[in-house]
Amino acid sequence: MNDALLNVKDLTITFQTERGELTAVDHLSFDLGRKETLCIVGESGSGKSVTALSIMGLLPQPAGRVTNGSIRFQGQELTGLTNKQMQGIRGNRISMIFQEPMTSLNPVYTVGYQISEVLKKHKGMNTKEAMRYAAELLERVGIPEPGKRVHSFPHELSGGLRQRVMIAMALSCDPDILIADEPTTALDVTIQAQILRLMETLKQDLDMSIIFITHDLGVVSQISDRTIVMYGGMKMEERYADGFFDHVQHPYTVDLLGCIPTSSLSDGKLMPIPGMIPSLANMPGGCRFSNRCRRAMSACHETIPELREIEPGHWIACHLEDKEAVL
């Protein structure tokens, strides 16, 4: 897709460790359209955060490296940019928020000061303008009494308010893309509902695209336009079409749904996936899921399945035939 805002192609990310070079993300490709919400969903260690960090040019150095593939933002190649070149894009055109806002907020400065610093740097405002605009941003993200709150220190705010501050800061330069890495995982459900609604509103108002990383399939149901399921650093399934959950095909996604109790009274027994999530050093050969898959055949242990389109806008990487793949 050429009109996509972001094209990730064959992205491979490795880490240099005592156990040698380990592959955290393996030939991952996806596109992000304008005003689209892309959900990347997967269990821990599936490579979601690392993917996000690589787009931001923030892979832990020197251990982490993009060893293959490209990340193109509006046609411009981002891999290989210097840190200085990346600074023009990071926080400006592409912003990111994290699960735990305290890791990115500085405890010794007021939130107003921290937002205004970003504004001064990227927008060339003076101190007074920046402070006024910071309060405006806090208001926009639904923080009560924004005029007072600009003078608050991060620890004086609840988790939900801190996440709103992070969103305000991420939005300060009207980014084209907001990457949100599990932004609501640490929050209570009622506060999560508020933050999800806020992000939806802001996306409409600001014409943004969102990459939303989560392990919560319920959240995916609520916000996703395009859904990618990752496991062991690889894309297992992707659907760009409505009704993802009515159409899941990959045995991993199907089995994952069988692990989740729902809030309906009529749901059946949980069917756990046997075994553990393999560590990077112990990835099985062939399909990453092959050693836990109830339907694995000999081919699954030997070759990595190609991603194939099983219906328009829906891809899976699985050796089973399309019709076979549904349990």
Ligand X SMILES: Nc1ncnc2c1ncn2[C@@H]1O[C@H](COP(=O)(O)OP(=O)(O)O)[C@@H](O)[C@H]1O
Number of residues that bind another protein (CB under 8 A): 45
Report the largest interatomic distance among the alpha carbons of the chain, rounded to a whole angstrom. Answer: 67
Helix (H), strand (E) at residue 121: helix 111-123
49 part of the interface to Mg ion, by CB under 5 A: yes
From 32-40, 49-57, 188-196, 314-322, give the range in contact with Mg ion by CB under 5 A: 49-57
In the complex, minimum distance from the CB of residue 215 to Mg ion, in angstroms, rounded to a whole number: 8
258 binds, among another protein, ligand X, Mg ion, none (CB under 5 to 8 A by kind): another protein
**Shortest spacing between CB 47 and Mg ion, in angstroms:** 9
Residues 15 and 64: their CA atoms lie apart, in Å, by 4
Q: Let me know: does 1 contact 33? Beta carbons within 8 Å.
A: yes
Q: Can you tell me the distance from the alpha carbon of 268 to that of 21, in angstroms, rounded to the nearest whole number?
A: 43
327 binds another protein, rule: CB under 8 A = no
The SS3 call for residue 156 is helix
Question: Backbone phi, then psi, for 239, in 5-degree steps?
Answer: -135, 125
Which of another protein, Mg ion, ligand X, none does residue 61 bind (CB under 5 to 8 Å by kind)? none
Rule CB under 8 A: say whether 255 interacts with another protein: yes
17: partner contacted, choices Mg ion, another protein, ligand X, none (Cβ within 5-8 A by kind): ligand X
**Inter-residue contact 206 to 33 (CB < 8 Å):** no
63 and 16 Cβ atoms separated by less than 8 Å: yes
Residues 203-232 that bind another protein (CB under 8 A): 215-222
- State the binding string over 5-44 for another protein (x if CB under 8 A, else -): --------------------------------------xx
Provide the 3-class DSSP secondary structure of residue 286. Answer: coil
For position 51 contacting Mg ion by CB under 5 A, the verdict is no
Q: Which does 161 bind (CB under 5 to 8 A by kind): Mg ion, ligand X, another protein, none?
A: another protein
Pick 261 or 312: Cβ nearer another protein: 261
Q: Give CA–CA dist 229/236, Å, rounded.
A: 6
Long-range contacts from 320-327, C-beta under 8 angstroms, 24+ separation:
320/251, 320/295, 322/249, 324/295, 325/249, 325/250, 325/251, 325/254, 325/295, 326/249, 326/254, 327/251, 327/254, 327/295
Binding residues for ligand X, rule: CB under 6 A, are 15, 17, 24, 42, 44-50, 60, 63-64, 280
Decide: is 321 part of the binding site for another protein (CB under 8 A): no
List residues near another protein by CB under 8 A.
Answer: 43-44, 158-161, 188-194, 196-197, 215-222, 245-246, 255-265, 267, 270-274, 276-277, 292
List residues near Mg ion by CB under 5 A.
Answer: 49
